[in-house]
Structure 1
Amino acid sequence: MVEICTIQLLVKDPSVLAALQFSLSIEGFQIDDCAPQVLLIDEGYGGDGLKVLEEMRARGNRALAIVTATHPNLQLRNRVAGCDAVLIEKPLMGDEISRTLIAICNPLKVA
């Protein structure tokens, strides 16, 4: 059975935020800022979305995380990896975010 995650969206652009809220809710994901299972963070959120995630990690937040970025360089890729997050490159293509959410919320269980 596929588990649907609760997601917190940390996205600066209001139109992108609205589009993500709409598309993810149609796919059955719950958008909620309280106790999310997954953080979806845009690299530009708060000026530096990775810094926001790094600060959350330093405060003990261990929620699964996805970072979206345009043309990420090696330094950004290393920071994402250091935060134990998944990187999705923009522009977003098709259902890449929902497929990634399903994959990280439903890891394969090995007997």
Structure 2
Amino acid sequence: MTIAEIIVSVMVVLSTVMVVATAVAMWRAPDALTRANLIGPVVGVAVPLLLMGKLIIDWSTTGFDPNNFIRAILAIAGVWIVGAVGSYYLGRSIYGVTVVDVRHAEDRAYQPGA
């Protein structure tokens, strides 16, 4: 086993541990908003680690390819952007459904026909 394969193996194992830990934490989370917020480690660290591992394996077997490097950078940036925006909207929608604003509820209670 080469050094590159050992490094990639450690990265894959670390990513797998993060995904399993996140799955267990989501299973034990008390509500939907907490579950939505627990996706962060997988999107922020585990997926980029897997992409970097693939890049390292490619570099060790075929050499540096600028095309693959740019694609990996774009994929990591894309995962971070989509994860951030998706988490924001998912959290907002869950918060809007599960949390009742007391001031707003009191205002609506006093309005006739509301």
TM over 0.5: no
| Higher Cα Rg, which structure | 2
Higher strand share: 1
Higher helix share: 2
